[in-house]
């Protein structure tokens, strides 16, 4: 019996890895089509936002897509079969096929038009739903029955694999599954999650190749980075804790019913207006982060602080207004701006430390705090930026300092409201009620 269950788990791991990778490719292609049709550009690391587009067109596109997305999410949350978050799916709840597909493609539409949310939630949700669907097919047609714990593990692993297929980051996908969703590091969970993420990465690489998501200089990190990270780590710990609180509050107060129909278009319009003067604020944060990594001017400290504040504001407003999306890449952009600010201010004391390295250390530290996932944050930056081993020591030190400082600011019990993951109004209100009961 045990051998049969292990066989079923192995078959499911391989097939779901392939399916998760295909889902990631389909979503990536859909995003490229949206960007081409609406903004007439093809996104790359060297061309991360639609800079040739006129400000008027950018505003009109965001306003129009804001209306379409608001209607889509209103229908999903109030008229269709209740959607289920990835965390609830890992706990055993079934994800509806139709609602989940519409939800994930609406996310890619919104961020492709310039909405200020991360794009990593959609492939995670789609892969988790496809994992549950495939497990049902195995049971029905192949008569392969999985243990309840293995079914939940496969769902968690699939979510990480969906991320890996989009960002070509297999270790990050595995750590997301094990560290954030499964919360149980064992040989079984690591083998299943890593194997699935590797397979999804291989499938996704057919479209994306193995190119870095962020373009960086090739200068090695030095021991002097450990001195400057003594400041970057604590600063990003405080600001990361505040950003995490903002994310949680946005989730608890997220527009669900009629308010969604006017709040989200209004926030999308506001984002478009801001983008007239500051186009890097649009999208998932890649454009802002890349601009920070490329910046070498010491007189832009006020601009760096303003860019971090604006990106945080429009992201939180988008989530509160009803948008669904991730917060990983916005966290990277905000942390990069903060790290670059600290690096620029301290450059008279440590002139040999490149500002882009300070930006990278800040990005990792703030990401770790905002997601409460230090290992996932560190390896995500390593994989998507193609960093070498010299970054390991200062980045690890910065993340440790940020996590320690953040624990002084974050309450012991974190509200388990999943911002960005679509819920019906009734399901979300039930979660909020449970949080309030626990805090009393």
Distance of alpha carbon 124 from alpha carbon 349, whole angstroms? 43
Query: According to the model, what pLDDT value does residue 435 have?
Result: 43
Phi, psi of 426 (to 5 degrees): -65, -45
Residue 285: count of CB within 10 angstroms of its CB: 31
Distance of alpha carbon 328 from alpha carbon 336, whole angstroms? 12
Work out the angle at residue 117's Cα, subtended by the Cα atoms of residues 86 and 93, and round it to the nearest 5 degrees.
10
Query: According to the model, what pLDDT value does residue 59 have?
Result: 96
CA proximity to 234, closest of 376, 368, 387, 353 = 368
Residue 155 domain flag: yes
Total domains in the chain come to 2
Whether the pLDDT of residue 155 is over 60: the answer is: yes
- Kindly state whether residues 167 and 242 are assigned to the same domain: no
Distance of alpha carbon 260 from alpha carbon 268, whole angstroms? 12
SS3 state at 118: strand
* Six token digits for residue 57: 């067109």
Listed in sequence order, the residues at least 6 apart from 69 whose beta carbon sits closer than 8 Å to its beta carbon are 106, 109, 110, 115, 264, 268, 323
Residue 51 domain flag: yes
- Kindly state whether residues 248 and 203 are assigned to the same domain: no
Mean pLDDT of 55-63: 95
- Kind and range of the H or E element at 5? helix 2-39
Query: According to the model, what pLDDT value does residue 231 have?
Result: 97
Query: According to the model, what pLDDT value does residue 173 have?
Result: 96
What confidence tens digit (pLDDT) does each residue in 21-48 have? 999 999 999 999 999 999 998 988 888 8
- Kindly state whether residues 314 and 412 are assigned to the same domain: yes
Query: What CATH code is carried by the domain that includes residue 268?
Result: 1.10.3080.10
Query: According to the model, what pLDDT value does residue 440 have?
Result: 39
CA proximity to 240, closest of 159, 149, 331 = 331
Listed in sequence order, the residues at least 6 apart from 63 whose beta carbon sits closer than 8 Å to its beta carbon are 265, 268, 269, 272
- Kindly state whether residues 307 and 375 are assigned to the same domain: yes
- Kindly state whether residues 228 and 139 are assigned to the same domain: no
Task: Tell me 138's DSSP state.
Answer: I
- Kindly state whether residues 278 and 320 are assigned to the same domain: yes
Residue 214 domain flag: no
Query: According to the model, what pLDDT value does residue 439 have?
Result: 41
- Kindly state whether residues 368 and 423 are assigned to the same domain: yes
- Kindly state whether residues 20 and 49 are assigned to the same domain: yes
Q: For residues 263 and 435, is the Cβ–Cβ distance under 8 A? A: no
Distance of alpha carbon 57 from alpha carbon 339, whole angstroms? 33
Residue 326: count of CB within 10 angstroms of its CB: 24
Distance of alpha carbon 104 from alpha carbon 90, whole angstroms? 18
- Kindly state whether residues 241 and 185 are assigned to the same domain: no
CA proximity to 83, closest of 115, 33, 34, 122 = 122
Quote the domain boundaries for residue 122. Answer: 2-208
Query: According to the model, what pLDDT value does residue 85 have?
Result: 92
Query: According to the model, what pLDDT value does residue 194 have?
Result: 97
Q: Say if residue 67 is exposed, middle or buried (CB neighbours under 10 Å; 0-12, 13-18, 19+).
A: middle
The secondary structure of 78-104 as a DSSP string is: HTSSPP--HHHHHHTPPPPHHHHHHHH
* Six token digits for residue 174: 């595995």
- Kindly state whether residues 161 and 47 are assigned to the same domain: yes
Listed in sequence order, the residues at least 6 apart from 104 whose beta carbon sits closer than 8 Å to its beta carbon are 27, 122, 123, 125, 126
Query: According to the model, what pLDDT value does residue 1 have?
Result: 52
- Kindly state whether residues 153 and 275 are assigned to the same domain: no
Whether the pLDDT of residue 430 is over 70: the answer is: no
Query: According to the model, what pLDDT value does residue 14 have?
Result: 96
Q: For residues 129 and 97, is the Cβ–Cβ distance under 8 A? A: yes
Choosing from 208, 239, 267, the residue where a domain stops is 208
Q: For residues 335 and 364, is the Cβ–Cβ distance under 8 A? A: yes
Listed in sequence order, the residues at least 6 apart from 353 whose beta carbon sits closer than 8 Å to its beta carbon are 222, 224, 225, 228, 343, 346, 347
Whether the pLDDT of residue 74 is over 90: the answer is: yes
Query: According to the model, what pLDDT value does residue 429 have?
Result: 45
What confidence tens digit (pLDDT) does each residue in 339-385 have? 999 999 998 998 889 999 999 999 999 999 999 999 999 999 999 99
Mean pLDDT of 285-310: 88
Q: For residues 304 and 339, is the Cβ–Cβ distance under 8 A? A: no
Mean pLDDT of 242-253: 94
Mean pLDDT of 136-156: 89
Residue 217 domain flag: no
SS3 state at 369: helix
Whether the pLDDT of residue 73 is over 90: the answer is: yes
Residue 215 domain flag: no
């Amino acid at each position: 019996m045990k051998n049969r269950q292990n066989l079923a788990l192995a078959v499911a791991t391989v097939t779901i890895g392939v399916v998760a990778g295909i889902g990631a490719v389909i979503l990536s292609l859909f995003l490229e089509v949206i960007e081409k049709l609406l903004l007439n550009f093809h996104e790359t690391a060297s061309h991360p936002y639609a800079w040739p587009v006129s400000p008027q067109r950018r505003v009109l596109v965001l306003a129009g897509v804001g209306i379409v997305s608001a209607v889509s999410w209103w229908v999903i949350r109030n008229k269709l079969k209740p959607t289920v978050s990835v965390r609830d799916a890992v706990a055993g709840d079934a994800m509806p096929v139709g609602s989940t597909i519409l939800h994930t493609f609406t996310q890619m539409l919104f961020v492709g038009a310039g909405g200020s949310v991360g794009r990593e939630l959609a492939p995670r949700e789609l892969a988790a739903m496809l994992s549950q669907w495939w497990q049902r097919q195995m049971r029905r047609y192949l008569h392969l029955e999985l243990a309840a714990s293995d079914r939940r593990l496969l769902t968690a692993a699939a979510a990480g694999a969906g991320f890996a297929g989009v960002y070509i980051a297999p270790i990050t996908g595995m750590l997301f599954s094990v560290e954030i969703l499964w919360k149980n590091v064992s040989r079984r969970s690591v083998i299943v999650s890593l194997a699935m993420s590797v397979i999804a990465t291989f499938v996704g690489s057919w479209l994306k190749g193995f190119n870095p998501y962020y373009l960086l200089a090739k200068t090695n990190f030095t021991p002097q980075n450990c001195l400057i990270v003594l400041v970057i780590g604590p600063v990003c710990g405080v600001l990361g804790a505040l950003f995490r609180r903002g994310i949680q509050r946005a989730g608890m107060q997220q527009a669900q019913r009629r308010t969604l129909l006017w709040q989200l278009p209004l926030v999308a319009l506001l984002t478009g207006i801001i983008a007239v003067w500051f186009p890097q604020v649009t999208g998932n944060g890649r454009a802002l982060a890349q601009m920070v990594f490329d910046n070498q001017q010491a007189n832009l400290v006020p601009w760096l602080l303003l860019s971090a504040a604006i990106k945080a504001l429009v992201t939180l407003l988008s989530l509160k207004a009803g948008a669904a999306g991730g917060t990983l890449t916005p966290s990277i952009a905000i942390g990069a701006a903060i790290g670059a600010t600290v690096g620029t201010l301290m450059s008279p004391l440590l002139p040999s430390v490149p500002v882009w390295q300070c930006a990278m250390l800040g990005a990792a530290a703030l990401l770790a705090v905002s997601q409460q996932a230090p290992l996932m944050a560190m390896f995500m930056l390593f994989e998507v930026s193609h960093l070498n081993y010299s970054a390991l020591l200062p980045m690890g030190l910065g993340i440790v300092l940020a996590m320690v400082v953040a624990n002084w600011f974050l309450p012991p019990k974190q509200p388990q409201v999943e911002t960005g993951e679509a819920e019906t109004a009734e399901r979300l209100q039930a979660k909020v009620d449970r949080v309030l009961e626990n805090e009393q």
